Amino acid sequence: MDLKRYFKKVSELESTLPEKDVYIMSLSTADGGVEGVVTQAPKRVACQLVTEGKARLASADEVEMFELEQAEQRLRNEHAEQAKRIQVELVRRPLAG
């Protein structure tokens, strides 16, 4: 691959994206890349992966689903942490009689 052309493509793609971070969807690759995983990446890294054919820019619907799943996972993690902190104290009462 011609490096000048590669970095020109990366720079061109990078200039079209206004965000600092970009959501990408992974593509299946010969080296074991799994298709369908959404990731938030720095703009430069995302552009390199897209140029290399390892990912594509995620659609708005895919980004929304990803963010919902992340929010749900954060909530589950918070609940799990709170459950670890719950303390139970057993008090023994004397029998009446």
pLDDT score of 88: 79
How does pLDDT run across 58-91, given as a tens digit for each residue?
A: 999 999 999 999 999 999 999 999 888 887 788 8
H and E: helices and strands count for the chain:
3, 3
Other CB atoms within 10 Å distance of the CB of residue 56: 14
> Whose CA is closest to 25, among 52, 51, 50?
50
pLDDT at position 12: 93
Is 0.75 surpassed by the pTM of this model?
Answer: no
Q: pLDDT (tens digit, 9 = 90+) per residue, 18-62?
A: 888 899 999 998 888 889 999 999 999 999 999 999 999 999 999
Q: How far apart are CA 31 and CA 36, in angstroms?
A: 15
